Chain A
Amino acid sequence: MSNSFIIGQYVPGDSFIHRLDPRTKIAIIFTFVIVVFLANSVASYGLLTAFSIGSALLTRIKLSYIAKGLTPVWFLIVFTFILHLIVTKDGEVLFQIASYPIYSGAIIQGAAISLRFFLLILVTSLLTLTTTPIEITDAIETLLGPLKKIKFPVHELALMMSISLRFIPTLMQETEKISKAQASRGVDFKTGPIRDRVQAVVPLLVPLFVSAFKRAEELAMAMEARGYQGGEGRTKLRELKIEGRDLFVISLFLLIIIGLVMTRA
């Protein structure tokens, strides 16, 4: 489980991307997810690819590490490409695989869509790779701040998100420990008919729930003991601040969007 799943693990570092304000990163990624759908020509895809790969390089995290984090989505990317090969019938027939014709349009479209999907996932994963959960939730809290006016529980949501993110590694270890403990008692999670595999999940979930509740109680007590009393009047150790590099990155990104609109076919 842990090998196939390193996505979202923060990698400590001091790169340009690490030092950007988390609000800048979130705003850019949010916009990126939308503008990635604007690309429809070689030049516009090139621009987006250059931006994404450039940002990935700037994080100074090993590319192989980033690629490993994308493991769960490789399947989807390949699947999309193959589906395109099968269903798209544009352009001319290039060659045949077992008497099934493959069209040139299918390869182009398949490649374009797979690339779009890859860029989307790559850029979103950069956020969690270079930003601590605390920074992310701080940023979400300030970005959603205006919603407080309509009584939306912004602080509570941010608190919940930061706790959830923080406990992913802890609870993952716990899950692994429990499943090993149960496997040593003869529970088989991997093989057998579906009914048996479904039943095998019960002895995994019961201790997991009990321990999640126990941890929640401990954490609540620890927070109260330190005087936590909700979002009102809470001060922060690290204040978020927009600096020169944030403005630089934001203007660069705006230029890229303009470039995208201009290079569209």
Chain B
Amino acid sequence: MQKSSKLLKLITFSLLGTVSFLVMFLNFPLPFLPAFLKIDFSDVPALIAALIFSPVAGVIVELIKNILHLLLGGGEPVGVTANLIAGILFVVPVALIYHRFKGVKSIVSGLVASTIIMTIAMGVLNYYFLLPAYSLMFGIEEYNTAKFAIVTGGVIPFNIVKGIIVGLLFIPLFTKLRPWMERKQASFS
């Protein structure tokens, strides 16, 4: 029995990874931000995995999504790395808080904490690593020289808005799915 639940878990992570990859194409740019910063809901399947199983499951789903994105020609290495790190930083705190306290309230506080962590970390990462890497890759100096403006005017507001929008979607989704998720959780443990 031990073995079969392990296989079932692996398969479930894979399918959630695929769902996450597909959901990534349901994106829309925000009206007041540059078009390459797009909001998508691909973190939602990872959140589901992280809440039903464990934070590690969320990380695996994020990993699968980004490998698929890279393999299937839609992504370039820097953007994919950025998405992976942002996704992990968004999913893991929610899962940690939820598994500790349970309940809808813990999800809300988890989402708030995640958004703050993701925003700060992505701001720092963009400033010191991602924007210089983009600048090198696309040969556009301005990504590097104007990085302070890009981080404060683009990256930080983007991540806050992304956290809020994904949260606004996830809370009603979670309340609807909660009984089902708890059943799944019971069947896996």
Contacts and interface: CB of A to CB of B under 8 A. Distances in A.
Given A199-B172, A205-B23, A212-B15, A224 B165 contact: no
A33 B77 contact: yes
Interface residues of B, number: 54
B4 interface: yes
A164 B15 contact: yes
A209 B177 contact: yes
Interface string A242-253: 000000000000
A37 B170 CA distance: 40
A202 B73 contact: no
Interface in A205-231: 205-206, 208-210, 212-213, 215-217, 219-220, 223-224, 228-230
- Among A73, A76, A171, A216, residue most surrounded by chain B Cβ atoms (within 10 Å): A216
B73 A87 contact: no
A72 B60 CA distance: 25
A206 B45 CA distance: 10
B33 interface: no
B149 interface: no
A121 B165 CA distance: 30
DSSP majority for the A interface? Answer: helix
Contacts of B22: 168, 171-172, 175
A260 interface: no
A79 interface: yes
Contacts of B60: 160
A127 to B, nearest CB: 7
Q: Which 5 residue pairs across A and B have the least CB separation, nearest first?
A: A8-B72, A125-B73, A163-B14, A220-B8, A216-B12
